[in-house]
Structure 1
Amino acid sequence: MKVDIWSDTRCPFCFIGKKNFEKALRKFVQNDQVEVNWHSFQLDPNMKTDLSKNHYEYLSEIKGFPMPQIMQMHENLIQTGKNAGIDFNFDEVKVSNSFKSQMLVQFAKQKGKANEMEELLFEAYFISGKDIDDVAVLCEIGEKLGFTEEEIQKAVESPHLANLVNQDISAANSMGIRGVPFFVFNEKYGVSGAQPTDLFSEVLEKSWTEFSENNSKINIINEGDSCEIDGNC
């Protein structure tokens, strides 16, 4: 069985969704028969990396809300993260364009380590406050998975990997995906947002028993918290 996941490495709900989905997958009896495919997405392709701003300052600027309001809006998100096992550190999050990190995910995907790479990139961005647009940082992350500095440098300069990122984004657009995370189970059932573990468990069971190869339409099971391309998180 196949599960496709569209995600942006700078999307907090993608991190939460990954954790909740993995909890459901661990409980799923047939988890050894589930193939998880990570796909690239960019919430703001035109965003410029700016290390002088943190997450709160960036959102205050693009939304036009005062900082205290932005921070208050994140209280539920921070608690939701804690419930999923994540200690978000938004004070230290660097405003970083995610395209290079998506190229690194594509590289790791070819080596069978996309899931591990997603996890490390999320941790680097949301917990350690790393600039995921910095090649040196990406080399440090890649080396944790056994990749060499030379391999990572070639990866973030690869036209082929850049094309794969853009292909994923185009595929998402053609499917009408405007927010992430977005999960597609066996090309039939779609789950939008960082859903709770129980819902992921239900969809895993449902897609396992009801999948039909002749039905290519994606049915949205439920919509939950996500980040959208207009900047809403």
Structure 2
Amino acid sequence: MKVEIWSDVMCPFCYIGKRRFEAALQQFPHKDKVEVEWKSFQLNPDMQTDPNISINQYLADVKGWTLDYARQMNNHVTQMAAEVGLTYNMDKAVVANSFKAHRFTHLAKKHGLGEAAEEALFKAYFTDSRNVDDDDTLIELGVSIGLDAETIKTTLETDAFADEVRYDIAEAQQLGIRGVPFFVMDQKYGVSGAQANEVFSQTLDKAFNEWNQQRPAIQVTDGPTCGPDGNC
């Protein structure tokens, strides 16, 4: 059964939601039959990368908040993150457009490293205060998860995987997704936001049971065979 997750690297609830979903999946008795695929989403496609301003100031300017209120909101999500074992350093987060990071993720996905890329990007942005729109940063992250440095460099210097990112975003719009994280299980059930573990567990159970029932049973006609023990 497939679980598709739309997220953006700069979304604080996406990293928290990732941890809560992982906790639910770890306890799921059929986790070996669940395939997880990460999808791209941009909360602010027009964001301009600017390491010289704080994320608090950026949010205050864009949303019309006071600087103090922006700090309060970021302190709130920092506390939520701590509850699932994550360390957020929001005061040091680098304001960065995420489109290039999403292209990087699609490169990693092509090599079976999509999950590792998501984790590396989230940690880089929220914990390590790295610029995820910077080529050298992405190359370093890619090498750390097993990608080839030259392949990453070549990818980032072109528009490779840009169409894949746009396709994910368009697909989200078709599904009516307006915010992330958004989890779609077996293309039937959606979970919006960093829900409690129990919500993920219940939805996993429901989606898997229906998926499992719909799989056609194999009709077997017996005949002469050889077994792994060598008996024929």
Task: Indicate whether the TM-score tops 0.5.
Answer: yes
- Whole-angstrom distance in 2 between the partners of 1:14 and 1:7: 6
Identify the residue that residue 114 of structure 2 maps to in structure 1. 114
- Whole-angstrom distance in 2 between the partners of 1:212 and 1:174: 26
For 1:116, the aligned partner's letter is A
- Whole-angstrom distance in 2 between the partners of 1:161 and 1:65: 35
Identify the residue that residue 34 of structure 1 maps to in structure 2. 34
Identify the residue that residue 225 of structure 2 maps to in structure 1. none
Residue deviations 1:166-214, cap 9 Å, x none? 1000111111111000000000000000111111111111111124999
- Whole-angstrom distance in 2 between the partners of 1:170 and 1:37: 16
List 4+ stretches of structure 1 deviating above 3 A. 157-160, 211-214
- Whole-angstrom distance in 2 between the partners of 1:27 and 1:93: 32
Unaligned runs of 5+ in 1: 215-233
* Structure with greater helix share of residues: 2
Distance 1:4 1:118, change over 3 A: same
Secondary structure of residue in 2 paired with 1:180: coil
- Whole-angstrom distance in 2 between the partners of 1:82 and 1:161: 34
**What RMSD in Å do the two structures reach over aligned CA positions?**
1.5
Does the aligned pair in 2 maintain the 1:188–1:211 contact within 8 Å? no
Does the aligned pair in 1 maintain the 2:103–2:160 contact within 8 Å? no
Q: Give the count of matched residue pairs.
A: 214
| 1:1-233 aligned within 5 A | 1-211=1-211
Residue deviations 1:61-116, cap 9 Å, x none? 11222211111123321111111111110011000000111001101111111111
- Whole-angstrom distance in 2 between the partners of 1:30 and 1:212: 10
Secondary structure of residue in 2 paired with 1:144: helix
- Whole-angstrom distance in 2 between the partners of 1:135 and 1:205: 41
Residue deviations 1:150-171, cap 9 Å, x none? 1111222343411100100011
For 2:119, the aligned partner's letter is E
Secondary structure of residue in 1 paired with 2:157: coil
Does the aligned pair in 1 maintain the 2:135–2:153 contact within 8 Å? yes
> What TM-score do the two structures reach when normalised by structure 1?
0.88
Secondary structure of residue in 1 paired with 2:37: strand
Identify the residue that residue 222 of structure 1 maps to in structure 2. none
Does the aligned pair in 2 maintain the 1:125–1:131 contact within 8 Å? yes
> Which structure has the larger Rg?
2
For 1:128, the aligned partner's letter is D
Unaligned runs of 5+ in 2: 215-232
